[in-house]
Structure 1
Amino acid sequence: MEIRLREYAKADVKAAAAIWNQVVEDGEAFPQKELLTEESGNAFFLEQSYTGIAYDAESEEILGIYILHPNNVGRCGHICNASYAVRKDVRGCYIGEALVTHCMGKGKELGFRILQFNAVVASNTYALRLYEKLGFVRLGTIPGGFQMKDGHYEDIIPHYHVL
């Protein structure tokens, strides 16, 4: 598998929404509870500052997706935020790392100075290891900041990286 990244196009909506919805349905990482339809997914992906698609260069199958957008407005508008989703059957193949690395470059290219993650769930050990590997700084812990699908609460660990 040769992982490449490119910008989202409307033709990607079905696969991109399905990957996004896998993470939403898992209820362990994204705050959203509503699933995307093709219509709402296309609008959502297009309204971001950038939506990146990871795909296999050989098969052209979509493997993952990320969204990048401002984390705040005005005097804090130089800080961006992102979310990442990798197709379940290819997790562990360094697609997440490719998405985050590409996102960091794209954020800088778009004029952002800092990439901030507001709610990394403490039980998401794969994400925590990746962010540490890539040099993100942990900002502390917010006790019980994320409600899991089964209703219990997990801590969240905000992170940032200067771009």
Structure 2
Amino acid sequence: MGIIARKFNPDDIESAIDIWNEIVEDGIAFPQMEQLDKQAGLDFFLSQSHTGVAIEEDTGKMVGLYILHPNNVGRCGHICNTSYAVKGSERGKRIGEILVKDSMEQGKKLGFRILQFNAVVSTNEPALRLYKKLGFTQLGIIPGGFLMKDGHYQDIIPHYHVL
């Protein structure tokens, strides 16, 4: 089973919002609390500098996605930020690695110089291992920076990588 990364298109919307909303509903990784409907999802994914999707080559099924956009404006506009989502039933298959590597390539193509993650939740061990493997630098710990779905606060660990 090969996985390819490609640019999001409007025909992808149903699968994209299903995967995105699964992460939002879990309440342990994304800052968003509201589910996307079809129109809000389309507006959201098309408004990004780049939205990439991971597709299973044999079946054409979407198994993950990411959004990439500026992390800030003006004098810090050369720094981009991304969020990644892998379908729950597809985790552990290195799809996240494919998405992160593609986002790094796309960010560089778009003229960004640095990729920064603002809020990697400290309990997201698979992401932390992947970012370390890919050479990201941890910037420290923000105590209690993320409100978990169950109401407690968890530390977040910002990261960056020079593109």
Give me the TM-score of the superposition, normalised by structure 2.
1.00
Q: Which amino acid aligns with 2:21?
A: N
Match of 2:90 in 1: 90
How far apart are the structure 2 equivalents of 1:131 and 1:151? 27
Gaps of 5+ in 1: none
How far apart are the structure 2 equivalents of 1:53 and 1:93? 15
- Percent of aligned pairs sharing the same letter: 63
1:20 aligns with 2:11: no
Following TM superposition, by how much is the alpha carbon of 1:14 offset from its aligned partner in structure 2, in angstroms? Answer: 0.4
Alignment map for 1:5-154 (pairs within 5 Å): 5-154=5-154
Deviations 1:109-152 (A, max 9, x none): 00000000000000000000000000000000000000000000
How far apart are the structure 2 equivalents of 1:35 and 1:157? 25
Deviations 1:10-47 (A, max 9, x none): 01000000000000000000000000001100000000
Q: Which amino acid aligns with 2:43?
A: A
How far apart are the structure 2 equivalents of 1:42 and 1:125? 30
How far apart are the structure 1 equivalents of 2:74 and 2:13? 31
Match of 2:162 in 1: 162
Q: Which amino acid aligns with 2:70?
A: P
Give me the TM-score of the superposition, normalised by structure 1.
1.00
Q: Which amino acid aligns with 1:12?
A: D
Aligned Cα RMSD in Å? 0.3
Following TM superposition, by how much is the alpha carbon of 1:97 offset from its aligned partner in structure 2, in angstroms? Answer: 0.3
SS of equivalent residue, structure 2 residue 54: strand
SS of equivalent residue, structure 1 residue 119: coil
How far apart are the structure 2 equivalents of 1:82 and 1:94? 17
Q: Which amino acid aligns with 2:89?
A: D
Gaps of 5+ in 2: none
Deviations 1:85-115 (A, max 9, x none): 0001100000000000000000000000000
Q: Which amino acid aligns with 1:83?
A: S
